[in-house]
Amino acid sequence: MVVIMAPEATESDVEVIVEMVQGVGGKAFVSRGVSRTIVGLVGDVEEFGALNLRSRPGVLDVVRISVPYKLISREHHSARSVIEVGGVPIGPDHLTVIAGPCAVETPEQTLTAARMARAAGASLLRGGAFKPRTSPYAYQGLGEAGLKILADVRAETGLPVVTEVIDPAHVDMVASYADMLQVGTRNMQNFALLQAVGAATKPVLLKRGMSSTIQEWLMAAEYIAQRGNLDIVLCERGIRTFETATRNTLDISAVPVAQRLSHLPVIVDPSHSGGRRELVLPLTRAAIAAGADGLIIDIHPEPKMALCDGDQALVDSDLAEIARIGAELSALMGRVLTPAPDASPARVPSAL
């Protein structure tokens, strides 16, 4: 069961609902979004019904939810959500492009990639300071030094930063630099991490686990929402199948399915799904045509020198085409390509 609070509801109104639910042995989880607050209830539904919560001040509606992911379900929130990241919207009516290097290597490489991202039509900058890798000998990222580089590049280019967090203990530190926290495919069911980013105040990009069902993916999002954070964007990044011709298999059907089941925005990662540069543009077209709310794309100034995933990174010669695809196909789908924020006055970032 979910209690939907009215936009004008006060904190006192919410506290009364929580106390009433707890008074009959139930649990109440408060989730605050941009436009509304939702209280998810766990316990005896018959006891909750006797409380007549719908009549309480500040309550807009009380909905009985049949699916296990109650807070992110469209059963109680029929309109699809728009999530803002540093003022940049992700959701219906928009096509939002997130682009940048898979891993932060140097200040110069990151700044160049960020400028390339703007040229490709991106309005958000991606970049990994912490890199969970299959091999313990592979490049693991620069850590906090990489976060400082991303913050300096944001100041130079105006692009809000999306970066991955891999350890619950690092959430506060990463959140102090980033505009959006990314939970990667290997951590989709790291429940301690999901709860930690749920308690943070920054939007979360949740990638689908490479071997996870759509319901498992949505339940992972519910972990985040249950801790109070409804600013979640889902990312389909390809799943592991028997096929070896691509790095992963892009489950394009996951876009409309997830959008039907959840009110959260759904974006696509054509870089990690295809795994090769020549596949990124075709998969980008497919994602936009399927109704994706955005894309997250790898860009690198010198892919052959990249310390991480150089084979899938776009280069200068791809930028005009990716910008054209984004602008033209988004219009055909009734969307607007999200513009990048205005760049800050030119200056040399402190890390450069």
**2-63 with 83-337: one CATH topology?**
no
Q: Which pLDDT belongs to residue 38? A: 86
Q: Which pLDDT belongs to residue 344? A: 59
Q: What is the pTM of this model?
A: 0.86
Mean pLDDT of the chain: 92
Phi, then psi, of 159 in degrees rounded to 5: -85, 120
Residue type, 299: I
DSSP run (H or E) holding 59: strand 59-63
Phi, then psi, of 87 in degrees rounded to 5: 90, -5
Closest CA to 175 of 198, 152, 191: 198
Q: Which pLDDT belongs to residue 40? A: 86
Structure token digits, residue 19 = 């106390």
Are the C-beta atoms of 40 and 53 separated by less than 8 Å? no
d(CA 286, CA 223): 30
* Domain locations along the chain: 2-63, 83-337
Domain 2-63: CATH architecture, name and number where available: 2-Layer Sandwich (3.30)
Partners of 242 in the beta sheet?
none
Structure token digits, residue 86 = 């540093």
The pLDDT tens digits along the chain (352 residues) read 889 899 889 999 999 999 999 999 998 888 877 667 889 888 888 888 889 999 999 999 888 877 889 889 998 788 899 999 999 999 999 999 999 999 999 999 999 999 999 999 999 999 999 988 888 878 888 999 999 999 999 999 999 999 999 999 999 999 999 999 999 999 999 999 999 999 998 999 999 999 999 999 999 999 999 998 999 999 999 999 999 999 999 999 999 999 999 999 999 999 999 999 999 999 999 999 999 999 999 999 999 998 888 899 999 899 999 999 999 999 999 999 999 998 754 443 344 4
Q: Which pLDDT belongs to residue 343? A: 78
CATH domain 83-337 topology: TIM Barrel (3.20.20)
Q: Which pLDDT belongs to residue 34? A: 67
Residues with Cβ within 8 Å of 72's Cβ and at least 6 positions away in sequence, in order, are 218, 221, 222, 225, 230, 232, 262, 263, 264
